[in-house]
Every structure is written in C-alpha cells, then in structure tokens.
Structure 1
Amino acid sequence: MPVTKRVGEAITEAERTLERAVARVGAWNGHEIRYTALVGGLMNQNWVVDIAGDTRRYFVKVPGAGSEMFIDRIAANEAARNAHAIGVAPEVVFFDASDGLEISEFLDGYRACTNADFSDAAIQSDVLGIYRRLHASQPLSLTKTIFDMIEEHIDQGRQLGAHFPPSMPWIEHRYRQAKAAFVASGLDLVPCFNDPMPGNFLIGHDGAVARPMKLIDYEFASNNERAYELGVLFAEMFYDEQVTLGLIEQYAGSVRPEMVARVMLNRALADVKWASWAIVNRKLSSWDFDYQKYGIWKYMRARQIMYDPRWESWLRTI
C-alpha cells in the first residue's frame, strides 16, 4: 500500500527530492504538506500532494535523470497549458523551467484507462474527440515530426552503443522510403500529443454522469504529422484493420485511400520510433523495466507492416 508522509519525514532520496520540490512553491510555505508516491511512469517520479486547507490535491512530476535527452520541458509545459485552455487537460499551477518540475491539479474522481478500456466504442469516440480538438488548436512552438524523432533516437542509440536488431539496415531502408513519400506529398502538421499510453487518458463519473475524458502528460507533444497521431494510437491499442478503417471514418468523416495509406505507414513508423526510444533507455535507465525486450518486439511489429505487399502502393497513394 502507498505510504503517506508529511514534509520532514523523508527517508529515501526520492522523498527528499520531492520535499525540496514542494518547498519551491511559495504559496505552500507554512502549510502542512502530505505526499504519497504514485505507481507508474517510466521516466519520472510522480506524487500526489495534499495541502492543509486546500480543497484541491496536486500531481507533482519530478523529471527523471536523463529524460532531458527526449523531452523539451518548456515545450511540454506549453502544450499542457494549451490543452487546459481548450478543456482537455488539468490546470498546471506551477512550473520551473530550470529543471522541468511541473505541478498540476490532481483530478479526483478520475482513473487512468487500461488497454481493455480501448475496446469500448464510447472510449474510442472520446479519444478521437479529444484529438480533433487538439489538432484544431493553436500551433505549438515546437515542431518535431516522427522523422525527427526516429532519427534522433537512432543517432542516440549509436552514440551509446545500443543493440539494434540485425534487420536494422532493412528497417532504415523502409523508413527512408516512407520519409521520402511524406516529404514529396507534404506533411499535414497539427498540434499532436504523440504518446497514447492508456494511462494518459483519464475517465471518471460524477454519480451516474460520466465526466469528460481528460488527457495528461504532454512530454512528447509537438506539431507533427496528423496521421502519425492516429497511426500510433491504433498500433498501441492493437486495433485490427476493420476497426482502424472505422475509426479513420469517425475521425475524418470518410475513408479516403490516401488517409488509410498515411495511417498505415505511420503505424510502422510509430513502432520504429518507440523501439528506438526503448533501446536508448536500456542504456540510460535504472528502472526495473525490460526496455530491450520491448524495443525488439516493437521493431518486429514494424517489420510486419513493412513486409505487407501493399507497402509500395501505400507509398504511392499518399
């Protein structure tokens, strides 16, 4: 069971780090502060904090060591604030640009989604609704496309001596084909979330009434190719082709061959991106998570789409 402590009772280094973090919030000085560690999160330390006399609770994210290799904290904070402004994210109440410490309201009455939730048509519809709102919102300061991400991770992995699969030269060949096709056709750049982990989608109820879905954790947000947002979502949720086509229609209003091609290519690109991210983290992270196994599996799934006999047709269609 999670243990709740008062400021001043820290024993571990993580607890001492949290106590130093909350001390930076001037409005909390002089108040009794209690904190509890939250389970989850592969790159950060996450906490829920209670302030005596405050009706709200707060979510505190302490950036993990090495996460600056992947995350522009200032850009992430901008994306989180923009998302709150359009009603899809909690309010950010404190941010320190020097190290990325971010504190937001804790959404009581909500729970994180699981993969199983994403088989529910109502959940699928809510997710696409949030994405449509995000994609129609004001552009972000940071433009970082799926191609930028993949190339960054592969370069990082090579610099760190990470273990790539034997098929990596062939995967990179297919990657270059996809990049050339998208550059030739033109990227459809919109503000994107880029990280559809189920736990980033929060659902809840107020009695018998469903609360609006919320989206948290904007660390990977950027202006990016619209079809990537859909491709990575459909890949992460293991949607088959029939479900994929139905969701494309729901998002876009029709199933156009060029949109299908863009989404399918991005399913493969998404797996290459996250596979490459994982094998870099294998070299950097001390978390008890098998990044190497996760990455190799992602590369394997990318190859499955890249071997599809329709690959060349998708390249021509976009």
Structure 2
Amino acid sequence: MKDIHEYYVRIPMLKDMPVEEITAERLGGLTNLVYCLTYKNQKKLLRIPGSGTDEFINRQNEKHDAMVAAESGVSAKVLFFDSSDGLMLSEFIEGDTLNEERFQNLGSVRRSGEALRQMHQHGQKFKNRFDVFEKIDEYLTLVKKLNADVPDGYEMVKSEAKKIRSVMEAKPVDLVPCHCDPLAENFIDNGEKVFIIDWEYAGNNDPMWDLGDLSVEANFGQEQDKVLLESYFAGPPPKDQVSRMVIYKVLCDLLWTLWGVVQHANKNPVDDFWSYSVGRFERCKSLISQPDFKDHLTTI
C-alpha cells in the first residue's frame, strides 16, 4: 500500500496543498480505503480503490453514474475521478452514517425510501444494466478463475435461482437507475434528508432490488419493511412490488455470497470474507425455504 500522500499529487485540488496541513481520518469501506480529508476546516472524501477491484468494476461507468447520482440530488458532488483505477475525491456529506442500529429509527427508514425514489425517478439513466443473474454468472467465472471455494450447497441453491429467473424474466419491468449495493453504511442521514454514496455497482435495474437489498443489508423487520415500502410508494405498496422485493432479498444474498468468495480469494484484508459469505448463504437458504416464498413467485 502506498503512502496516502502519494495519491494527493494525482489530484489537482490537493497536489499544491501543504501535506502537513491536511489531516486524514480513515473511515469505513469493505473493499476500498476511504478517508475524510480536512484542510482549513474544509472536508473532502478521498476514495482509494482496493486491490483487485478492477476485475469486477467498470470505472468509466462508475464515474458517469456517480455524477448522475450527484445531479439527482441524492449523492455528493464528484470533484475528481481517475477512471484508470477509480481514485476519487468528492464533497464530504455531513450526517450520521447509518447502520443496523441507527435504522431502528423509522425516520431514517422513511428518508431512505424517499431518497431511493428520488434516484429511481431521475430522468437520466446509468451506463449499464445491472442484471443479477448475469452478475452471478460473472462472479462464478471469477471464482473458477481464482480456483476459489464456495459454501457447501451453493450449486443446489443456484439451481433454485434458475427457476426464479424464468419467472422473473417472464414478468419484466421498466428499468431505472439503481444503486444496486445499498449497504446500510452507504446511507448518510442528516436528520432531514438521506444521501446515498458509493456507486461502484450501480446500474439500470428493477427498482425493487434496491429496496430488497437494503432490507437484507440492514436486517429490517416487518415494520421497517412496511415503512420503507410506504415511503417509497408514498402510500400502500402494490402487492406485486412487495413480492418482487421479497424475491430480491433471496437473490441479493446469493449474489453477494459469491462477491465475498471473490474477496476472500483475493485476500482482501478488510474483513473475514469467508465468514461473510457463509453467513449470507445461510440466510439465503433460510429465506428461500420459507413456506410463503413460492406464493411471491406467483404474485409478481
């Protein structure tokens, strides 16, 4: 890992600043190194891309999508972006970084639903399509290339996903610009509005993916799901959309299981990604085995 100061010289806004007067505070991030930089009481966000991320992230697309998200009003203005590797400087958003505990506040859930609706209804599309089934195939190719292990029983669940795929493809919906990786920590709440950061995996997608994935990532209960859906739809949600959200809960765990396997194989030091993968896979199996899951497949 290079010294953080070596990245400053690549960024016009930073390269002429006295290094000793810039303070860098390490923030969260599963695959990247993220810092809050402070210079003369002005804060910026520096994102240094993690090792191996260029294998599954198109940085040209990310640059475009991050700028579109900023234009929509739900994300931070991008000040610098190097598409060759993903080095990025953006405005710093003040507020609470959300997590499972903070999402117990239903106001944060409501504001997050409103932010997702604002993004989804933005007129400009993203660069690429995010298709969960294509992504699963892409990650399986990477897993094979890396000669990585997958949790026991993965192939069996993947075969169930093929049945789900046939149902979903028979009932297509209009695609909208989606975040596609709505970790709780990608939501910043200032008490009046929620902002969404980190657009690496963004793409045009079924909007219910974002709601289902957020529900899983933040471990929402029934009341939180209800508030999220009602805030998103500004009223009672259509039954078919509720079912699509539930189905995507299963599919997102299936996908991110493979993502974690790739991180583990790449020896990403940020977290124990094998445990992460196994945990997600077990939750996926639990969701797909619920008695009412097949009912959702017939409702969409």
Per the normalisation by structure 1, the TM-score is: 0.87
After superposing on structure 2, the runs of 4+ consecutive aligned residues of structure 1 that deviate more than 4 Å are: none
Instruction: Tell me the amino acid that sits aligned with residue 147 of structure 1.
Output: F
Aligned partners of 2:184 and 2:214 also within 8 Å: no
Residue 261 of structure 1 corresponds to 243
**1:149 alignment counterpart:** 135
Question: What does residue 286 of structure 1 align with?
Answer: 268
- TM-superposed deviation, 1:242: 4.7
Cα pair 1:258 1:317 within 8 Å, conserved: yes
In structure 1, which of residues 263, 276, 285 is the aligned counterpart of residue 258 of structure 2?
276
Higher relative contact order (CA closer than 8 Å, sequence separation 6+): 2
Question: Is it true that 1:298 corresponds to 2:284 in the alignment?
Answer: no
Q: 1:37 to 1:245 in 2, by over 3 A?
A: closer
Paired with 1:265 and 1:28, the residues of 2 have a C-alpha distance of 45
SS in 2 for 1:247: helix
- Other-structure match for 1:164: 150
- Structure 2 residue runs of 5 or longer lacking an equivalent are none
State the AA in 2 paired with 1:163.
Answer: D
Tell whether 2:295 aligns with 1:313: yes
Secondary structure (helix, strand or coil) at the match of 2:152 reads: coil
Separation of aligned partners in 1, 2:266 and 2:137: 18
1:19 aligns with 2:1: no
Q: Cα distance, 1:82 vs. partner?
A: 1.2
Q: Tell me, in whole angstroms, the C-alpha distance in 2 between the residues paired with 1:43 and 1:21.
A: 17
1:158 offset after TM fit, Å?
Answer: 2.5
Q: Distance in 2 between matches of 1:249 and 1:212?
A: 17
Residues 75, 29 of structure 1: CA spacing in aligned structure 2 closer, same or farther, 3 A cutoff? same
1:223 aligns with 2:204: yes
Give the 3 Å change call, closer, same or farther, for CA 26–238 of structure 1 in structure 2. closer
- Aligned residue for 2:158, secondary structure, equals helix
Verify: 1:76 aligned to 2:62, yes or no. yes
In structure 1, runs of 5+ residues without a counterpart are 1-12, 205-209
Summarize the Cα distance change of 1:98–1:261 in structure 2 as closer, same or farther, 3 Å threshold.
same
Equivalent residue, structure 2, for 1:118: 103
CA gap 1:238/1:20 in 2 versus in 1, 3 angstroms:
same
Structure 2: how far apart are the matches of 1:27 and 1:291? 35
Amino acid at match of 1:87: G
Give the match for residue 8 of structure 1.
Answer: none
SS in 1 for 2:74: coil
Q: How does 1:205-216 map to 2 (within 5 A)?
A: 210-216=191-197
Q: Is the 8 A contact 1:71 1:219 kept in 2?
A: yes
Q: Is the 8 A contact 1:28 1:51 kept in 2?
A: no
In structure 2, the partner of 1:179 is 165
C-alpha contact 2:109 2:227 (8 A) present in aligned 1: no
Q: For residues 192 and 230 of structure 2, what CA distance do their matches in structure 1 show?
A: 25
Correspondence list, 1:42-53, <5 A: 42-51=30-39
Pair 1:241–1:50, CA change in 2 (3 A): closer
The answer to whether the Cα contact below 8 Å between 2:151 and 2:277 also exists between their aligned partners in 1 is: no
Q: Aligned partner of 1:49: which letter?
A: L
Tell me the residue number matched to 1:191. 177
Q: Which amino acid aligns with 1:221?
A: A
In the alignment, which residue of structure 2 is the partner of 1:4?
none
2-structure distance, mates of 1:191, 1:115: 25
Aligned CA-pair RMSD: 1.9
Looking at structure 2, the residues matched to 241 and 104 of structure 1 have their Cα atoms a distance apart, in angstroms, of 35
Asked whether the equivalents of residues 177 and 315 of structure 1 are also in contact (C-alpha less than 8 Å), the reply is: no
Displacement, 1:282? 0.6
Partners of 2:125 and 2:176 within 8 A in 1: yes
Alignment map for 1:231-242 (pairs within 5 Å): 231-242=212-223
Q: Give the C-alpha shift of residue 122 in structure 1.
A: 0.7
Which residue of the other structure, out of 225, 240, 243, is the alignment partner of 1:244?
Answer: 225
Matched ranges for 1:34-49 at <5 A: 34-49=22-37
Q: Are residues 304 and 74 of structure 1, via their aligned partners in 2, closer, same or farther at CA, if it must alter by over 3 Å?
A: same
Q: Distance in 1 between matches of 2:52 and 2:245?
A: 31
Task: Name the amino acid aligned to 1:73.
Answer: R
Task: Please tell me whether Structure 1 or Structure 2 has the larger radius of gyration of its CA atoms.
Answer: 1
Residue of 120, 128, 132 corresponding to 2:113: 128
User: Which secondary structure state, in structure 2, belongs to the residue aligned with residue 61 of structure 1?
Assistant: strand
Structure 1 position 167, deviation (Å): 1.5
Aligned residue pairs total: 296
Name the amino acid aligned to 1:317: T
- Partners of 1:256 and 1:29 lie apart in 2 by 52
CA–CA distance in structure 1, aligned partners of residues 243 and 231 of structure 2? 16
Mapped contact 1:57–1:105 kept (Cα < 8 A)? yes
Q: CA deviation at 1:266?
A: 0.5
